[in-house]
Amino acid sequence: MPADPVPLGFVFRSRAKEEKAPADKAPVTDSKVTRDPQAPKGRPTPKRSEAQTQRRSVAQTPTTRKEAAKRQRDDRRAQMEKQRQALASGDERYLPVRDKGPVRRFARDFVDSRFCIAEFFLPMAVVILVLSMVRVGSLQNIALLLWLVVIVMIVVDSIGIAIRLKKQLNTRFPDLPKKGAVPYALMRTLQMRRLRLPKPQVKRGERP
């Protein structure tokens, strides 16, 4: 017996369902979310802060040797300016390595809190030099004697400063390295107080 004929309406409805099914199974996407054009395909869009950080790092990276050299000069100039300000204010964060640390700070304060004969060496040297240039035998002899007296006084005073400073450092900082602190302080005594760097942070007679 011949098979019953299939109604045409049933065939059309079946095809319509098959064509509609893939569209129904397609993933739903939010049309309001826009993908960053810089984000790689298949990866989530980075946050705005992350994207700004990436663009900033790319913008700051020098692309040529000339730009890299200019960047290094600018960084060096900025660092030197910070050190100059720190030498005037005593800010420990930007001081040169030789001036950093509590030991070196105490050595500076120890010297700045007292009168040192060595700090008057330059003005006394000028006076002695002028006397030695005068063509008078007695004045030249006085100049030579003054040279000897000044040198002896500076040596004796420096020895006393070194002994007292070393004792204070051993008492106050027993566990910290103190190498070079005493010569560092003695070199500071040779500078006039107003010309010392870092600038003195204590007054004369004040206990460090």
Token pair listed for 53 = 């950080």
Share of the chain above pLDDT 70, in %: 69
3 state DSSP class of 111? helix
pLDDT score recorded for residue 186? 96
In the numeric block, the tokens 């950093």 are attached to 100
pLDDT score recorded for residue 11? 45
Amino acid at 54: Q
Q: pTM of this prediction?
A: 0.64
SS3 helix, strand, coil % of the chain, rounded to 5? Answer: 65, 0, 35
Q: How many CB atoms lie within 10 A of CB 99?
A: 18
The CA-to-CA distance between both ends of the chain, in Å, stands at: 122
pLDDT score recorded for residue 56? 57
Q: With a cut of 70, say whether residue 109 has pLDDT above it.
A: yes
Mean pLDDT, range 63-88, rounded to an integer: 79
How big is the CA angle at 137 (ends 133 and 142), to the nearest 5 degrees? 75
pLDDT score recorded for residue 161? 97
For residues 144 and 71, is the Cβ–Cβ distance under 8 A?
Answer: no
pLDDT band of 208, cuts 50, 70, 90:
confident
> pLDDT tens digits for 34-55?
555 555 555 555 566 665 656 5
pLDDT band of 1, cuts 50, 70, 90:
very low
Mean pLDDT, range 135-154, rounded to an integer: 91
Q: How many CB atoms lie within 10 A of CB 82?
A: 14
pLDDT score recorded for residue 178? 94
Across all residues in the chain, what is the average pLDDT?
A: 79
Query: Crossing angle, helix 137-172 and helix 102-112, to 10 degrees?
Result: 140
Share of the chain above pLDDT 90, in %: 44
DSSP 8-state symbol, 100 = -
Cα distance between residue 161 and residue 13, in whole Å? 109
pLDDT score recorded for residue 48? 65
pLDDT score recorded for residue 195? 92
